[in-house]
Amino acid sequence: MRPLEIIYEDGDCVAVNKPSGLLTMPGRGGAAGEKNLKALLSASGRPAFVVHRLDRDASGLILFARNEKAHRHLSLLFETREIGKKYLAAVDGLILENRGEVDKPLQAYGSGRMGVGFDGKPSVTRYAVLERYKRATLLEVELITGRRHQIRAHMYYIKHPVLGDALYGDRKRQAAFPRLMLHSYSLEFRDAGGRRRLLKAEPPNDFVSVLPFL
């Protein structure tokens, strides 16, 4: 495994460009023994407190706190939605409108899937088209809320599932892609000292190299 790409680090937090396929924190059941980002960051002897998560197969920016005070501050930012989160997502099919929003509640179903349901939690996803290909569209996606699998479930709901998604969309079509085409590329927030932080992580080669073939 390649060394972790540290995007930003100070005494309160560390931001990492997580590779696709790596767990954020220790898994359960069959995944209990797998490598995870929290353990790798803690191996240096400094604590790493989880403040949010990225799906295993997504890549990109993820933020950890380095002490309890920063953990409380950053966790509150995520809970109160005072942190800007933007993703790149390559989705199946052509989206004709340049901008859109999915405002549908999400709830958990079987097999680890999330889906739109009347008993779900309020969930809002905004997107803007960056580029259209022959059979796919590259989006910039902004999370207004932060539900599990939110982008994946909302894109599936509007019939444009994220490419390479083993849980959502046509399995045969999804299996043609080497990874989930979802990348967290931007986080914007104010740190515990009130300073504005804008962090960005470029998508890795296993994301970019797929785009010309869409």
Which residues belong to the active site?
55
Token couple for 61:
């920016």
Residues 6+ apart with CB under 8 A from 185: 60, 61, 86, 87, 88, 200, 201, 202, 203
Q: Coil, helix or strand for 209?
A: coil
Helices vs strands, H then E, count in the chain = 5, 12
Cα gap 168→40, rounded to integer Å: 30
Query: Which contiguous run of DSSP H or E holds residue 68?
Result: helix 68-79
Is the CB of residue 148 less than 8 Å from the CB of residue 108? yes
Cα gap 81→83, rounded to integer Å: 5
Is the CB of residue 182 less than 8 Å from the CB of residue 87? yes
Token couple for 42:
């803690």
What backbone torsions phi and psi does residue 210 show, to the nearest 5 degrees?
-80, -30
